[in-house]
Structures are given as C-alpha cells and as structure tokens.
Amino acid sequence: KAGVTQTPRYLIKTRGQQVTLSCSPISGHRSVSWYQQTPGQGLQFLFEYFSETQRNKGNFPGRFSGRQFSNSRSEMNVSTLELGDSALYLCASSGAAAIPNTEAFFGQGTRLTVV
Amino acid sequence: QKEVEQDPGPLSVPEGAIVSLNCTYSNSAFQYFMWYRQYSRKGPELLMYTYSSGNKEDGRFTAQVDKSSKYISLFIRDSQPSDSATYLCAMSEAGGGNKLTFGTGTQLKVEL
C-alpha cells in the first residue's frame, strides 16, 4: 500500500515569491492535515481538510492557504514568502471515514528554503 | 507556556538499556495520545496510538497515559542503535478532527 507522497521534496524560493506544495494521501484516506516543522517551534498544525472542506485551522497568517480536491489530494500555498517560512512542511493522511482522531501517517515532507 | 512539554534531550544510553521518554500537557481536553519516531530528513512515523488513560504494549515499546497527572510516557526495552531518532509525543481532543498538538521532541542516541 503506497504511503503519503509529498512533492517536491526540496524547494528554494526568494523572499516575496509564492509557493505551492502538493500532498497525495494514502489511498482511501479522506483527511489531509498540514504541519510546519522548525527547529525552534517543532511541529505546528496549519490546517486540516476533509472531503474538500477545511475542518480545522491553526494559528498561521492568511498567507498560508490550502485546498483539497475530489480525489483527496491536497495542495498548500504560501504567498509573499518570508525568511521565517523556511521549514519542513509535512502532510499527514488520516482515516478512511469521517471519524476524527484516527491515526495520522506522515509523508517525508517538503523542505522549503526562502532566501 | 506550551500546551505540551517535552524534554528535548539529547538523551544518550547504552545498547540494551530501558529508555523512558515523557511528556506533560496542560489541556485536559486531550483524549488521544500518540508517539512518533522521526529519523533525520524523514517524516514522523507512528509508533503507538492510545485513547484515554492506561497502558499499551507493542513489542519492545510500552505507552502509558496518566490523565489525572496529565503525563504520558513511552518505554523502550532492550534499546538498539536503530532506535536512535527523535521521539515526538502528540495529542488531540475529542471532536478536534485530526488536529495534533506536538511536543518538541526528544533526541535519543543508543550507543554500542
């Protein structure tokens, strides 16, 4: 069974640009969550999508947005990049049904560097 | 103050030792508790998943949850060099969807 796939694995962007990251969840999973991981703050929750709807949102500015498609694949967009957005962005796939609090499985992440 | 506190380590132990990793939390609404292992340059890998208080064992790993003390633990028996990684605790609320709140992680090194 294929795991969670995140693309690209690495990105270098310039301050002020925007970026889109992609996540394909485990087949049958309908919940996709996004996290930012930095050495200082650890893993912080960005948002969760279930059946194309945002179900939860963390405390990040509006520059961070996401969406989910009918096939459960999800994208995350960061606009007007700042140096502090440099981080590992992780996607987690959960649950084959609408039941929350199911086990979350992570992808390998996208390493974003803003210069 | 963070909702979930975890000693960052690093923790260094000899091969074969019993390792104890711990997290404390302040949010009494947390009902689901998880432990993840993360190797360098990899995503977190789910080790244990428990609901409410009690113990759960899986091979060399035992997870304990004490909701009265807001304290969770992960024990690793007969530790191996391959256990060297960062261990992250994570928690979620009932009705909170799949939003996880993480500790900052404990870096473990098991030495030969």
Whether the ω angle into residue A61 lies within 30 degrees of 0, i.e. cis, is: no
- Residues in B whose CB is inside 8 Å of some CB of A read 31-32, 34, 36, 41-46, 49, 51, 88, 90, 92, 94-105
**Mean per-residue pLDDT over chain A, rounded:** 93
Is the pLDDT at A52 greater than 90? The verdict is yes
Q: Does A103 touch chain B (CB under 8 A)?
A: yes
Instruction: State which amino acid sits at residue A108.
Output: Q
Average pLDDT over residues B76-84: 97
Is the pLDDT at A98 greater than 80? The verdict is no
B36 contact residues in A (CB cutoff 8 A): 106
Q: Which of A 65-94 lie inside 8 A of B, CB atoms?
A: 90, 92, 94
Q: Are B47 and B59 in contact (CB under 8 A)?
A: no
Q: Residue A5's pLDDT band (boundaries 50, 70, 90)?
A: very high
**Mean per-residue pLDDT over chain B, rounded:** 94
Query: Would you call B41 exposed, middle or buried from its count of C-beta atoms within 10 A (0-12, 13-18, 19+)?
Result: exposed
Give the pLDDT confidence of A22-44 residue by residue, as tens digits.
Answer: 999 999 899 999 999 999 889 99
Dihedral angle, C-alpha A14, A6, B103, B73, nearest 10 °: -160
A31 contact residues in B (CB cutoff 8 A): 97-98
